[in-house]
Amino acid sequence: MNKEEAPYIAPDTQASPIVGRHQPENLRGGYPRIYIFMMSMTLIVFIALAVYAFNLAVGSFSKPGPGLWILTASVLALLAWPFALKAKEEYERFNRERVDKMLFMLAGLVAFVVLYPFTGFLVAGFISMLIITRFSARESWKVSLILSVLTPVVVYLVFVVAFQVGLSGLPEWMS
Protein backbone atom coordinates (compact mmCIF):
# COMPACT_ATOMS: atom_id res chain seq x y z
CA MET A 1 0.00 0.00 0.00
CA ASN A 2 1.46 3.34 -0.92
CA LYS A 3 0.96 6.49 1.10
CA GLU A 4 -2.06 7.69 -0.93
CA GLU A 5 -3.94 4.41 -0.50
CA ALA A 6 -3.26 4.00 3.22
CA PRO A 7 -6.45 4.14 5.27
CA TYR A 8 -7.01 7.25 7.34
CA ILE A 9 -7.76 6.51 10.98
CA ALA A 10 -9.94 9.13 12.67
CA PRO A 11 -8.48 10.39 15.96
CA ASP A 12 -11.45 9.49 18.20
CA THR A 13 -12.41 6.27 19.95
CA GLN A 14 -15.03 5.35 17.35
CA ALA A 15 -12.40 5.40 14.63
CA SER A 16 -12.84 3.44 11.48
CA PRO A 17 -10.57 3.48 8.46
CA ILE A 18 -11.43 5.86 5.65
CA VAL A 19 -10.15 4.59 2.34
CA GLY A 20 -9.55 6.95 -0.53
CA ARG A 21 -9.74 10.69 -0.73
CA HIS A 22 -11.78 12.81 1.66
CA GLN A 23 -14.95 12.75 -0.37
CA PRO A 24 -18.33 12.77 1.42
CA GLU A 25 -19.13 9.20 0.33
CA ASN A 26 -15.88 7.96 1.95
CA LEU A 27 -16.25 9.68 5.30
CA ARG A 28 -17.18 7.94 8.52
CA GLY A 29 -20.76 8.24 9.60
CA GLY A 30 -21.78 7.51 6.07
CA TYR A 31 -24.68 9.95 5.70
CA PRO A 32 -23.46 12.88 3.61
CA ARG A 33 -27.01 13.44 2.32
CA ILE A 34 -28.11 14.33 5.84
CA TYR A 35 -25.29 16.83 6.15
CA ILE A 36 -26.08 18.35 2.76
CA PHE A 37 -29.77 18.52 3.67
CA MET A 38 -29.04 20.22 7.01
CA MET A 39 -26.66 22.71 5.42
CA SER A 40 -29.30 23.47 2.77
CA MET A 41 -31.91 24.04 5.47
CA THR A 42 -29.48 26.31 7.31
CA LEU A 43 -28.96 28.33 4.14
CA ILE A 44 -32.73 28.67 3.67
CA VAL A 45 -33.13 29.88 7.27
CA PHE A 46 -30.36 32.49 6.83
CA ILE A 47 -31.96 33.77 3.62
CA ALA A 48 -35.40 33.85 5.26
CA LEU A 49 -33.96 35.86 8.17
CA ALA A 50 -32.44 38.36 5.77
CA VAL A 51 -35.78 38.79 3.97
CA TYR A 52 -37.58 39.09 7.32
CA ALA A 53 -35.10 41.77 8.43
CA PHE A 54 -35.87 43.85 5.34
CA ASN A 55 -39.60 43.56 6.11
CA LEU A 56 -38.95 44.96 9.60
CA ALA A 57 -37.19 48.05 8.19
CA VAL A 58 -33.43 48.06 8.47
CA GLY A 59 -32.68 51.74 8.95
CA SER A 60 -29.03 52.72 9.25
CA PHE A 61 -26.24 52.31 11.78
CA SER A 62 -26.83 55.85 13.06
CA LYS A 63 -30.61 55.30 13.30
CA PRO A 64 -31.14 51.52 13.39
CA GLY A 65 -34.46 49.94 12.59
CA PRO A 66 -35.75 46.74 14.18
CA GLY A 67 -34.33 44.59 11.38
CA LEU A 68 -30.77 45.94 11.35
CA TRP A 69 -29.20 43.44 13.75
CA ILE A 70 -31.15 40.53 12.31
CA LEU A 71 -29.88 41.51 8.86
CA THR A 72 -26.32 41.94 10.16
CA ALA A 73 -26.35 38.51 11.81
CA SER A 74 -27.90 36.80 8.79
CA VAL A 75 -25.40 38.41 6.38
CA LEU A 76 -22.49 37.30 8.59
CA ALA A 77 -23.97 33.81 8.73
CA LEU A 78 -24.42 33.77 4.95
CA LEU A 79 -20.79 34.83 4.51
CA ALA A 80 -19.63 32.05 6.86
CA TRP A 81 -21.91 29.38 5.37
CA PRO A 82 -19.64 28.33 2.44
CA PHE A 83 -16.70 27.91 4.80
CA ALA A 84 -18.79 25.72 7.11
CA LEU A 85 -19.91 23.64 4.15
CA LYS A 86 -16.34 23.19 2.91
CA ALA A 87 -14.75 22.60 6.33
CA LYS A 88 -16.88 19.62 7.29
CA GLU A 89 -14.82 16.53 6.53
CA GLU A 90 -16.04 13.98 9.04
CA TYR A 91 -19.58 13.18 10.00
CA GLU A 92 -20.64 12.21 13.47
CA ARG A 93 -22.11 8.80 13.83
CA PHE A 94 -25.69 8.59 15.01
CA ASN A 95 -25.56 8.44 18.78
CA ARG A 96 -28.72 7.85 20.82
CA GLU A 97 -27.20 9.51 23.91
CA ARG A 98 -26.52 12.76 22.02
CA VAL A 99 -30.07 12.81 20.71
CA ASP A 100 -31.39 12.27 24.25
CA LYS A 101 -29.27 15.14 25.56
CA MET A 102 -30.52 17.40 22.78
CA LEU A 103 -34.14 16.46 23.50
CA PHE A 104 -33.70 17.22 27.21
CA MET A 105 -32.15 20.57 26.29
CA LEU A 106 -35.12 21.29 24.05
CA ALA A 107 -37.53 20.19 26.81
CA GLY A 108 -35.89 22.62 29.23
CA LEU A 109 -36.23 25.50 26.77
CA VAL A 110 -39.85 24.61 25.98
CA ALA A 111 -40.58 24.38 29.71
CA PHE A 112 -39.23 27.91 30.17
CA VAL A 113 -41.34 29.32 27.32
CA VAL A 114 -44.51 27.59 28.53
CA LEU A 115 -44.03 28.33 32.24
CA TYR A 116 -42.80 31.95 32.05
CA PRO A 117 -46.22 33.60 31.59
CA PHE A 118 -47.69 31.65 34.52
CA THR A 119 -44.81 31.39 36.98
CA GLY A 120 -42.54 34.33 36.18
CA PHE A 121 -38.86 34.37 35.29
CA LEU A 122 -37.38 32.91 38.47
CA VAL A 123 -39.59 29.81 38.75
CA ALA A 124 -39.53 29.11 34.99
CA GLY A 125 -35.75 29.63 34.96
CA PHE A 126 -35.31 27.28 37.92
CA ILE A 127 -37.33 24.48 36.32
CA SER A 128 -35.70 24.99 32.93
CA MET A 129 -32.18 24.96 34.38
CA LEU A 130 -33.00 21.91 36.49
CA ILE A 131 -34.09 19.95 33.40
CA ILE A 132 -31.08 21.10 31.39
CA THR A 133 -28.39 20.58 34.04
CA ARG A 134 -29.70 17.33 35.49
CA PHE A 135 -30.88 15.49 32.40
CA SER A 136 -29.04 17.08 29.47
CA ALA A 137 -25.70 17.86 31.12
CA ARG A 138 -25.97 14.86 33.48
CA GLU A 139 -24.82 16.84 36.52
CA SER A 140 -25.39 15.53 40.04
CA TRP A 141 -28.53 16.62 41.90
CA LYS A 142 -26.46 18.86 44.16
CA VAL A 143 -24.79 20.72 41.28
CA SER A 144 -28.07 20.84 39.34
CA LEU A 145 -29.96 22.40 42.25
CA ILE A 146 -27.21 24.96 42.95
CA LEU A 147 -27.01 25.99 39.28
CA SER A 148 -30.80 25.98 38.94
CA VAL A 149 -31.17 28.42 41.82
CA LEU A 150 -28.17 30.67 41.14
CA THR A 151 -28.44 31.08 37.36
CA PRO A 152 -31.96 32.60 37.20
CA VAL A 153 -31.22 34.80 40.23
CA VAL A 154 -27.98 36.16 38.72
CA VAL A 155 -29.58 36.69 35.30
CA TYR A 156 -32.56 38.40 36.97
CA LEU A 157 -30.28 40.70 38.97
CA VAL A 158 -28.20 41.60 35.92
CA PHE A 159 -31.12 42.31 33.62
CA VAL A 160 -33.76 43.70 36.01
CA VAL A 161 -31.61 45.51 38.56
CA ALA A 162 -28.63 46.58 36.44
CA PHE A 163 -30.20 47.00 32.98
CA GLN A 164 -33.77 47.73 34.19
CA VAL A 165 -35.39 45.27 31.79
CA GLY A 166 -39.03 44.57 32.61
CA LEU A 167 -39.08 40.88 33.53
CA SER A 168 -41.67 39.52 35.93
CA GLY A 169 -39.64 37.73 38.55
CA LEU A 170 -42.45 35.90 40.28
CA PRO A 171 -46.02 35.09 39.27
CA GLU A 172 -48.75 37.71 39.86
CA TRP A 173 -50.31 35.77 42.74
CA MET A 174 -47.01 35.70 44.66
CA SER A 175 -46.14 39.40 44.37
Domain ranges of the chain: 8-87, 96-174
Do 112 and 124 contact (CB within 8 A), yes or no?
yes
pLDDT at 175: 66
Q: Answer yes or no: is pLDDT of 17 > 70.
A: no
Please write the tens of the pLDDT for every residue from 69-83. 899 999 999 999 988
pLDDT band at 30 (very low <50, low <70, confident <90, very high): very low
pLDDT at 47: 95
Amino acid at 159: F
Higher pLDDT, 100 or 133: 133
Please write the tens of the pLDDT for every residue from 80-109. 998 887 765 555 566 777 888 989 999 999
Higher pLDDT, 145 or 85: 145
Q: Answer yes or no: is pLDDT of 130 > 60.
A: yes
Measured in residues, the chain has a length of: 175
Comparing CA positions, the residue from 174, 102, 138, 146 lying closest to residue 110 is: 102
pLDDT at 86: 75
pLDDT band at 61 (very low <50, low <70, confident <90, very high): confident
pTM score? 0.56
Q: Answer yes or no: is pLDDT of 4 > 60.
A: no
pLDDT band at 116 (very low <50, low <70, confident <90, very high): very high
CA 42 centroid distance within chain: 12
Question: How far is 112 from 126, CA to CA, in rounded Å?
Answer: 9
Q: How far is CA 30 from CA 19, 25, 40, in A?
A: 13, 7, 18
